[in-house]
Structure 1
């Protein structure tokens, strides 16, 4: 169901555009992945969940998506600059390991945390170190086109020369003259023609751990170069969507656009999507501020800023309750509210899956109720089609959930909706929760069979008016986060909200 065309906010045009794939129904989606030198943190969770949802929704709309998310395992230097130590190599020296040991370990832990958040695996997950020949070829193409220069074994992109025909800064809105006036010569950068030029290939010093042979001597690729080489290899020179965090817009994505145009005269992507940043209690997250929280700390509750542990699905739901382009502030209060909201949704999902339409004599259709259900369904899709607005979609899902719960308690009769609308409502709710938003029930290990046995004992105690036993069972279940629901004609359970 698609009440309106999908619109995406394109950072490049600074407006929402109707999504028109280059070669429908095929869609190429490239997302900048992690630099694997430390544990995944909240800053990794947001783009992962954001673009997982984009991937899921595009598939729901019957697009055939090739989702590529890279692993950066070389070339990302301290301070995101062209000088300094490689982040992975620095970690390797500290821990007396091979750089690839560090990269493999943190790639594995990243995958573990992404799996916990129920993000789908990308179709292709290329590593920078596995694409050195492609990167060398790309550098040579830019050199051949006269938009790069070699100095002492390093190759730099000539930004001023490129800007004579193209516009450097068109994605981020940076003005070249201001960049020039604001730049300064840093140690080791005096070999550049201009401070704003960036490295395509860097000469490796003797002590540098990761280096490869190239036409310009032993060296390693520049950080920006990697994504251009890998995205063009797997998605072509011009593909549909490039995603990443807002912090990557400049210089990383700006440099990707320059490299794409300098090598094959094409912008890498038609649509550029950027998720906004996260803050912790209103402050930017940073190790120096003491508010740097890894996902494992969040899941375990082992951090001084956390009141308790928060499950992966609580974190995923929390990320989805804000539009991806708005800032997202992590706080205990907000996470607890998300925990409550997630449990309401999952309780609703349990109810939706067990509800079966019942024919009721003498009950007529209620057009007002039907219109309310139809409108909520339409609005949920409308929200997703409006630049993937999961926050609004969730609000409409809660409206659908009210109807589901009303059917469950008997306040609303099945006949008032009719079978067709009932089926559509249950199907829409289930698809949105599981397939589009990617939310799953986390407490399956509690054992529904055991719960059903306990509820049977509870009912027997209630019939026998053994109220001490009734209270004992109710209390024991509450201790493990389950509440007993006494209803007119049955006894059921739900997760405590």
Structure 2
């Protein structure tokens, strides 16, 4: 276990807290996954990448992490409400498919995109439809506690009764009196006793496509209930981290807390982490708003607002350039800057693997150089320990990259750092790029032997002073995204930034 004092911003307490797992070195983390009725977009990517980094860094620190991320394939109704159509069933009707065909197709699409973004697979990825018995049992438990009621085959959580002993709204900061005054007047038109009550089980209408038998009706579970059932099954009644997008804080996560307290008399999770939204022109990106860009559109450049295609690692780097709790505004300019930044980091990764330490006779470490490197290494880890601040960590990596480039070009000798510091510099850089940030080299569709051959022809043309041929080879390589680097003692290449 590495000695780091990791601090997390806990949404529940609204402050940074020292991370102290319930059962170290084991860590349980549950993250709300996608509702699979459409292709993943940039907003989905942000949540997945953000918590992938949390997973990676906790693992790097030596924790044994059980990372559970669910698939919602039933019960998520339009407008996140208790009325209207199921999002997956609605898509199934439109495409004349079975709902499970829709869920399977878009779950596979999501997994494909997550693999391209180099996110690690969760330890467990449960589906709501695979846990109907557990959800029915939860409903029965909440009914026994007197905190739910059944009406016409549907079961609702009684928020006002729950609020008598445990404050509803603790996570989101909502005040129940304000919620009541802001809710619509039911006028006797609803089965609910109060507009704030939410469905634990819904009786299915005859035309509803997905339904299961229960003690109350042929119906389906409420959206909020699913995560409580799956998190408690795989992580226990009280676990370390619950994550998700900020848009899920209310009502989804608030309802999860209410359900957890109703069943188990304690909050489901010790720490609540929420990633912020990606915006376009200041407005949240989302399917419901119709302003989203799918990941495949980004990868292929196939959307009216896109000036070009952006690779998966460019998208991942773009997400990492902002702290996960801050908003991240989409623009072509920002993505183009991310493309350059990613290529700089990955060029550094490539050349760092070529460097070898060699002592120079009579040379001794330069205290200033050693201090600068050690300061950057310490600062990079400090940034990650401070609530996973990838944006700051990347800035410190670029400081290390300047030193690595200087060694590569011969401006600095490895001996100015001393072997221990030099090795630590190269190792830290490489660990951060791949293991912690999860970036990888996106190789251009050109085989390495062909590239070596072209550089050989370039060298021959340069030696023969055939500058027309030199320019031609350089231009052809540039078209492939490769730039030739003429150095004092050799010729090498790099990805064009």
Q: Do the aligned partners of 1:58 and 1:65 also contact (CA within 8 Å) in 2? A: yes
1:411 corresponds in structure 2 to: 411
Q: Do the aligned partners of 1:172 and 1:254 also contact (CA within 8 Å) in 2? A: yes
Cα deviation for residue 447 of structure 1 reads 1.9
1:226 corresponds in structure 2 to: 226
1:126 corresponds in structure 2 to: 126
Change in CA separation of 1:3 and 1:404 when aligned onto 2, cut-off 3 Å: farther
SS of the aligned residue for 2:156 comes to strand
Cα deviation for residue 189 of structure 1 reads 5.7
SS of the aligned residue for 2:273 comes to strand
Question: CA offsets per residue over residues 283-325 of structure 1, 9 Å max, x none?
Answer: 3325687632111101100100000000000000000000000
Q: What is the alpha-carbon distance in structure 2 between the residues aligned to residue 187 and residue 113 of structure 1?
A: 46
1:457 corresponds in structure 2 to: 457
Change in CA separation of 1:52 and 1:287 when aligned onto 2, cut-off 3 Å: closer
- 1:147-186 paired onto structure 2 within 5 Å: 147-185=147-185
Cα deviation for residue 185 of structure 1 reads 3.7
- 1:477-496 paired onto structure 2 within 5 Å: 477-496=477-496
Q: Do the aligned partners of 2:55 and 2:65 also contact (CA within 8 Å) in 1? A: yes
- The range that moved more, 97-106 or 355-364, is 355-364
Change in CA separation of 1:288 and 1:235 when aligned onto 2, cut-off 3 Å: closer
Question: CA offsets per residue over residues 97-122 of structure 1, 9 Å max, x none?
Answer: 00000000000000000001000000
- 1:13-92 paired onto structure 2 within 5 Å: 13-92=13-92
Instruction: Name the Cα RMSD after superposition.
Output: 1.3
Q: What is the alpha-carbon distance in structure 2 between the residues aligned to residue 144 and residue 104 of structure 1?
A: 36
Cα deviation for residue 179 of structure 1 reads 0.5
Q: Do the aligned partners of 2:53 and 2:436 also contact (CA within 8 Å) in 1? A: yes
Unaligned runs of 5+ in 2: none
Change in CA separation of 1:238 and 1:101 when aligned onto 2, cut-off 3 Å: same
Q: What is the alpha-carbon distance in structure 1 between the residues aligned to residue 181 and residue 439 of structure 2?
A: 49
Q: Do the aligned partners of 1:242 and 1:272 also contact (CA within 8 Å) in 2? A: yes
Would you say how many aligned residue pairs link Structure 1 and Structure 2?
497
Q: Do the aligned partners of 1:2 and 1:381 also contact (CA within 8 Å) in 2? A: no
Question: CA offsets per residue over residues 59-93 of structure 1, 9 Å max, x none?
Answer: 00000000000000000000100010000000000
Change in CA separation of 1:189 and 1:450 when aligned onto 2, cut-off 3 Å: farther
- 1:411-490 paired onto structure 2 within 5 Å: 411-443=411-443, 445-490=445-490
Unaligned runs of 5+ in 1: none
Q: Do the aligned partners of 2:147 and 2:162 also contact (CA within 8 Å) in 1? A: yes
Cα deviation for residue 410 of structure 1 reads 1.1
Question: CA offsets per residue over residues 442-467 of structure 1, 9 Å max, x none?
Answer: 11542222111111111111111111
Q: What is the alpha-carbon distance in structure 1 between the residues aligned to residue 137 and residue 431 of structure 2?
A: 45
Cα deviation for residue 215 of structure 1 reads 0.4
Q: What is the alpha-carbon distance in structure 2 between the residues aligned to residue 286 and residue 164 of structure 1?
A: 35
Q: What is the alpha-carbon distance in structure 1 between the residues aligned to residue 52 and residue 188 of structure 2?
A: 40
SS of the aligned residue for 1:178 comes to helix
- The range that moved more, 331-340 or 274-283, is 274-283
Change in CA separation of 1:491 and 1:380 when aligned onto 2, cut-off 3 Å: same
Q: What is the alpha-carbon distance in structure 2 between the residues aligned to residue 283 and residue 442 of structure 1?
A: 31
2:215 corresponds in structure 1 to: 215
SS of the aligned residue for 2:353 comes to helix
Cα deviation for residue 354 of structure 1 reads 0.8
Q: Do the aligned partners of 1:36 and 1:107 also contact (CA within 8 Å) in 2? A: yes
Change in CA separation of 1:432 and 1:99 when aligned onto 2, cut-off 3 Å: same
Change in CA separation of 1:188 and 1:38 when aligned onto 2, cut-off 3 Å: farther
Cα deviation for residue 4 of structure 1 reads 4.4
2:259 corresponds in structure 1 to: 259
The reply on whether 1:245 has 2:249 as its aligned counterpart is: no
SS of the aligned residue for 1:307 comes to coil
Q: Do the aligned partners of 1:119 and 1:438 also contact (CA within 8 Å) in 2? A: yes
Q: What is the alpha-carbon distance in structure 2 between the residues aligned to residue 20 and residue 397 of structure 1?
A: 27
Change in CA separation of 1:187 and 1:163 when aligned onto 2, cut-off 3 Å: same
Q: Do the aligned partners of 1:155 and 1:200 also contact (CA within 8 Å) in 2? A: yes
Q: Do the aligned partners of 1:3 and 1:382 also contact (CA within 8 Å) in 2? A: no
- The range that moved more, 465-474 or 425-434, is 465-474
2:339 corresponds in structure 1 to: 339
2:300 corresponds in structure 1 to: 300
1:354 corresponds in structure 2 to: 354
- The range that moved more, 222-231 or 444-453, is 444-453
Cα deviation for residue 281 of structure 1 reads 3.3
1:363 corresponds in structure 2 to: 363
- 1:262-277 paired onto structure 2 within 5 Å: 262-277=262-277
Q: Do the aligned partners of 1:189 and 1:195 also contact (CA within 8 Å) in 2? A: no
Q: What is the alpha-carbon distance in structure 2 between the residues aligned to residue 432 and residue 142 of structure 1?
A: 45
Q: Do the aligned partners of 2:444 and 2:480 also contact (CA within 8 Å) in 1? A: no
Cα deviation for residue 378 of structure 1 reads 0.3
Q: Do the aligned partners of 1:172 and 1:250 also contact (CA within 8 Å) in 2? A: yes
Q: What is the alpha-carbon distance in structure 1 between the residues aligned to residue 292 and residue 42 of structure 2?
A: 8
Q: What is the alpha-carbon distance in structure 2 between the residues aligned to residue 357 and residue 189 of structure 1?
A: 77
